[in-house]
């Protein structure tokens, strides 16, 4: 688990198409363009700064990813805005803010 204020690298992917509008594990509707992410164990509402080419503040609203060693599943919009959309899966710098 990542402590508040800690920074580390996580293997991240993204999701969106096919899930847009579905209920997330937190009970909210998934918006593939919102600044949200899925993590296996961080509490819902946790805010993270996620950086690849640029950075974005995201909120944990869902559970996952459940593929291999991936640790964070970003919304499609977040992946686009931080510059990792074309890569698909990448190590991102993550800082837990709360």
How crowded is residue 20: how many other Cβ atoms within 10 Å of its Cβ? 15
Q: Which CATH class is domain 7-96?
A: mainly beta
% of the chain at pLDDT higher than 90: 96
The ranges assigned to domains in the chain are: 7-96
Tell me the per-residue pLDDT of 39-87, one tens digit each, with 9 for 90 and over: 999 999 999 999 999 999 999 999 999 999 999 999 999 999 999 999 9
What pLDDT is attached to residue 17? 85
Alpha-carbon distances, residue 92 vs 12, 19, 20, 28 (angstroms): 6, 22, 23, 25
Report the length, in residues, of the chain: 98
């Amino acid at each position: 688990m990542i402590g508040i204020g800690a920074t580390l690298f996580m293997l991240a992917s993204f999701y969106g198409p096919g899930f847009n509008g579905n209920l997330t594990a937190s009970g909210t509707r998934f918006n593939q363009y919102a600044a949200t992410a899925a993590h296996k164990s961080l509490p819902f509402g946790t805010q993270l700064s996620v950086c690849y080419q640029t950075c974005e503040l995201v909120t944990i609203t869902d559970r996952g990813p459940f593929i291999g060693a991936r640790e964070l599943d970003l919304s499609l919009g977040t992946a686009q805005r931080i510059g990792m959309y074309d890569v698909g899966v990448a190590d991102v710098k993550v800082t837990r803010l709360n």
